[in-house]
Chains A and B, each alone.
Chain A
Amino acid sequence: MSPLKIKKGSTSHSAYDLRPTFSDKEEQHTLAVLVENEPGVLARVIGLFSGRGYNIDSLTVAEVDHLGHRSRITIVTTGTPQIINQIKAQLGRIVDVHKVNDLTVEGKSVERELALFKVVGTGDQRIEAIRLADIFRANVVDSTLESFVFEITGTSEKIDAFADLMQPLGLEEIARTGVAALSRGAKT
């Protein structure tokens, strides 16, 4: 790694950044990548993103088919349409990758994320926290006299909103799983 902090966008004259100008609007896409459950496959996917300078906004991975030896990696990434296409093509040519689906463009999809919130407080703060948790349909999964751990499921935006509300109410710690996503309807 370079010892210098290189600001985003400051390397526009590099030979490695010779992108054409025809499409410079950034978009966020959710990609579902079905991979062989082999050691190193996650490293390969992450290495692709870091090696080629792509963004990872969120990444989740777990085995989804034990007998078929398959894992599913859900990646949320940001880039120009051309970069997104490159990411898909580059992922697709990894030998251990079976399928790459762009859930953002291939019809509608559902996206969910699970998060745990530790909120510490007493008195009115505590009451307000549990009232808001109720509105957000968050469950209390652990409680002491001065703390709660809430479990919340929803879109990333919903979790962001919940975090904003909890901030003044004693939010101490957040654990988020990252996005899991599936296409809607019968089609796989």
Chain B
Amino acid sequence: MTKAMTGAKMVVQALIDQGVDVVFGYPGGAVLPIYDEIFQQNHIQHVLVRHEQGAVHAAEGYARATGKPGVALVTSGPGATNAVTGLTDALMDSIPIIVLTGQVPTFMIGSDAFQEADTVGITRPCTKHNWLVKETDKLAAVMHEAFHIATSGRPGPVVVDIPKDVQFATGTYTEARQVETHYNPQTKGDLEMITELAKAMETAKRPIFYTGGGVINSGPAASQLLRELVAATGFPITSTLMGLGCYPASGENWIGMLGMHGLYEANMAMHDCDLMINIGARFDDRITGRIDAFSPKSRKAHIDIDPSSINKVIHVDIPILGDVAHVLEDLLNVWKSRGRKTDKENVSKWWHQINEWKKIDCLKFEQKGKVIKPQYALSRLEELTKKHDRYICTEVGQHQMWAAQYLGFEDPNRWMTSGGLGTMGYGFPASIGVQMAHPDALVINVAGEASWLMNMQELGTAMQYRLPVKQFILNNERLGMVRQWQELLHGERYSSSWSESLPDFVKLAEAFGAKGILCDNPDDLDDAIMEMLNHDGPVLFDCLVEKHENCFPMIPSGKPHNEMILGENADTANAIKADGAVMV
């Protein structure tokens, strides 16, 4: 069965065939034929963003909250270059998105035409793969392959660059099942290595599961299997920022997030363990701290679908290449068939040690006086929203770390944050993407005032599509994390880390027709949060918090896990040495 149609129609047809229901985009000259086709159909909803970066982050938010690929559509030249930050963000965090870019007609490519940019050249290092499609007959096949590549193996962003004449010309539509591809990453792990790991689990005295975003990317089955494995073995489990939710925060074996701003007990356990089981994490520098002092006494196993992640920074003893869900299933089977053994006596001693570390209570804070502590604001937000069908996005900075510390995540795909790239301005558009995917859910973006301003134009989008996203801004009138580093490292010289000339957020919300709430008193906080939750529409919540609060605990850069700085009264004056300072 062959169908003749224009390239523009093919794009829309391929999106429909791939099960896409929403596209985030912004029109322009080079994508007008595609927009014309979108206008003439009812299968796909188009969400008009206010800036192309917003479109890509919204697609990312959609992808993370659903496990399905997100789609963005932008024009040539500036449309494509504005998408670059979002593409890089998705590459770093392994988020499957398809970005369609218009291009000047094929016969004008290379002539410095109006709104021409070398899109495939610019996006080559920030995509998993990209294509410039020069023939309409090949367009449908490339579209289908783009979805395949974005979603299989280690997921990531792809770009399909489509010249305008290719959109206008007529060609033959290819169905997805007719498309041949050689891209077929290995998903099943090597059984010998899996058995090796099962054996190590049987004898480990101080084991720990160190999980990451790969568990979430692998799908709900992976989280399910992980929970089963943790329950069956009784081993403690920690997670990276990206992996929050794959094991429930209320779970018995949960010891909290690890890393630079992770929990004391989690980092100490990582440092002192004798068997580290890395599941879908990548030994990021925010996790490892000083490499040569990273968990010196442990054997390390690493489950990852990307061969280049294994042995990249940390030498591992048991590498297992494969998809997390497939490997965990085999691991459980092998371990069970060998008799479900663990060294119960020593693991119980290990738990005793971990519980001692927990007693430090590294997240304790005191809410006193009339100024809201950001930790208090998030604790109250957690208390008042945890029973809701809730999705949390964040921007990047101190508020992001506090959100990770003080909010609890019970399920995967509920936590959208920019981990690898650390993109300020990610959270608001991402929350729009999440709300599009889950119209009835409570979607909150925990933000800082500086991050939020980076993509504030999307308030127009939220209003236009009646998306009741809650923007919970912890406003300290500072670039908090920058300020914290300047305090710790640069002699308290606060160079350009003030947010000067801030808008009145309540009036700003009202200017867009949204609701604004200002809260500056801890006694009013609960009522104000309830007011936010009860309002059916976008809310801008301006929560004025303590201006000089630092985010603790913290592993100073260049230091190992067991040299954390804990909360208040900590000696921070000389915490970071010069050789650690370069590591940001």
Contact = CB atoms under 8 A, between A and B. Distances in A.
Chain A partners chain B: yes
Interface of A: 13-15, 18-22, 36, 39-40, 43-44, 47, 51, 82, 85-86, 89-90, 92-93, 95-96, 98
A19 B153 CA distance: 26
B582 A18 contact: no
A4 to B, nearest CB: 15
A44 B120 CA distance: 10
B182 interface: yes
A43 B124 contact: yes
Nearest to A91: B308
Contact of B285 (A13, A15, A44, A51): A15
A72 B306 CA distance: 23
B583 interface: yes
A59 B112 CA distance: 31
Given A20-B315, A89-B310, A95-B183, 10 more contacts: A14-B582, A15-B285, A15-B583, A20-B313, A20-B314, A36-B182, A82-B315, A92-B307, A93-B307, A98-B182
A95 B124 contact: no
A86 B312 contact: yes
Given A86-B308, A89-B308, A89-B310, A40 B125 contact: no
Nearest to B183: A95
B306 A39 contact: no
Task: Choose among A14, A15, A39, A82 the residue with the greatest number of B CB atoms under 10 Å from its CB.
Answer: A15
B560 to A, nearest CB: 13
Interface in B147-191: 149, 153-154, 182-183
Shortest 4 CB-CB contacts between residues of A and residues of B = A89-B308, A15-B583, A95-B129, A89-B307
A7 to B, nearest CB: 16
A21 B125 contact: no
A20 B291 contact: yes
B19 interface: no
Range, interface on chain B: 20 to 34
Contacts of B121: 40, 43
Contacts of B124: 40, 43-44, 47
A32 to B, nearest CB: 18
Contacts of B307: 89, 92-93
A47 B306 contact: no
Nearest to A98: B182
B18 interface: no
13 contacts: A13-B582, A14-B583, A18-B288, A22-B315, A39-B132, A40-B132, A47-B125, A51-B125, A82-B311, A85-B311, A89-B306, A95-B128, A96-B129
Contacts of B192: none
Interface in B540-584: 557, 579, 582-584
Interface in B374-393: none
B152 to A, nearest CB: 10
Contacts of B345: none
Interface in B321-336: none
Nearest to A11: B582
A36 B120 CA distance: 17
A92 B308 contact: yes
Nearest to B580: A13
Nearest to A82: B311
B410 to A, nearest CB: 33
Nearest to B290: A18
A153 to B, nearest CB: 34
Contacts of A19: 291, 313
A44 B579 CA distance: 34
Given A15-B583, A20-B291, A20-B313, A90 B308 contact: yes
Nearest to A44: B124
B310 A95 contact: no
Contacts of B311: 82, 85-86
A15 B124 CA distance: 24
B500 interface: no
A67 to B, nearest CB: 15
Contact of B584 (A15, A22, A85): A15
A71 to B, nearest CB: 14
Nearest to A16: B285
A43 B118 CA distance: 13
